[in-house]
Amino acid sequence: MSAQSDVIPLEITRKQAYEAGKLAKRLRHQVGQAIADFNMIEDGDKVMVCLSGGKDSYTMLDILLSLQAKAPVRFELIAVNLDQKQPDFPEHVLPQYLGERGIPFHIIEQDTYSTVTRVIPAGKTMCSLCSRLRRGALYRWAAANGVSKIALGHHRDDILGTFFLNLFYQASLKAMPPKLRSDDGRHVVIRPLAYCKESDIAEYAADRQFPIIPCNLCGSQENLQRKAVSRMLQDWERQFPGRSETMFRALGNVAPSQLADRQLFDFVSLGSREGAQRADVHGWLAGTDGT
């Protein structure tokens, strides 16, 4: 191939730079909007950015750093990675990247991999136990180091996928909230990428040339249910562009009185007449023997 054929036309590079700039601006806007809508970051916060080495967490860190420079409030960012001692994990990649960019970071070293492989029989899914151990290690470090917010890299498609997994397999209407308090009540977890779609994140990560660490180092099995839901959502989006965005907006537009959760809405009192005697519904049903 000649040297001349290797030259990229100037108009192409300009167009690529323009499109990359538009994408970065869109992601910054979406992250900033999510932070504002859910009051994710406040003045004086110390935010622990959980960095796995995948496209999502790299993008989250990069966008938060760009917003930090112009934010109306002062907050601190620290990137934290959990080295789980998986075989062949390239432990130099993250420290080198973060060090070169001058980003404060900490690497937690905890051999959860050996624990998981010892406890889980060969061929069984490791992800659930691995996730609990990883979360515990990150929460302990956060508590010991004055962290006020823990940022995770879940995006819009993760949230939608979790909603349908719970709907199909757990008979519950719940997803991943953009902001939550941990079960022990000690930590506030935020998801700044909640409004961002995965395809935009993948494109941004490619543009920025992040040193991605593959996610198959532990030989982890595919979550077949999540993969199936992901394919369903992708098929819907191809057939009906914009459907994913509509479904995501629906998660923030809930009408409790139009569902059937008696804990969420007081159906029992609705339309009840003062002084009227309530029927013994359970006894009545038992008497009818269901027929």
Residue 102 backbone dihedrals phi, psi, to 5 degrees: 70, 30
Question: Which residues contribute to the annotated binding site?
Answer: 127, 130, 218
Q: Measuring CA to CA, which residue among 157, 169, 174, 159 is closest to residue 233?
A: 157
pLDDT band at 284 (very low <50, low <70, confident <90, very high): low
Q: Which two tokens stand for residue 88?
A: 């062949």
Question: Which residues contribute to the annotated binding site for [4Fe-4S] cluster?
Answer: 127, 130, 218
HSE (side-chain half, CA atoms, 13 Å) at 199:
7
CA distance 232 to 239: 11
Q: Measuring CA to CA, which residue among 98, 93, 28, 60 is closest to residue 189?
A: 60
Which amino acid, residue 184? D
Question: What predicted TM-score, i.e. pTM, was given to this entire model?
Answer: 0.86
Domains located in the chain, CATH noted: 4-221 (3.40.50.620)
Q: How many residues does the chain have?
A: 291
157-184 per-position pLDDT tens digit: 999 999 999 999 999 999 999 999 988 8
179-220 per-position pLDDT tens digit: 999 888 889 999 999 999 999 999 999 999 999 998 664 544
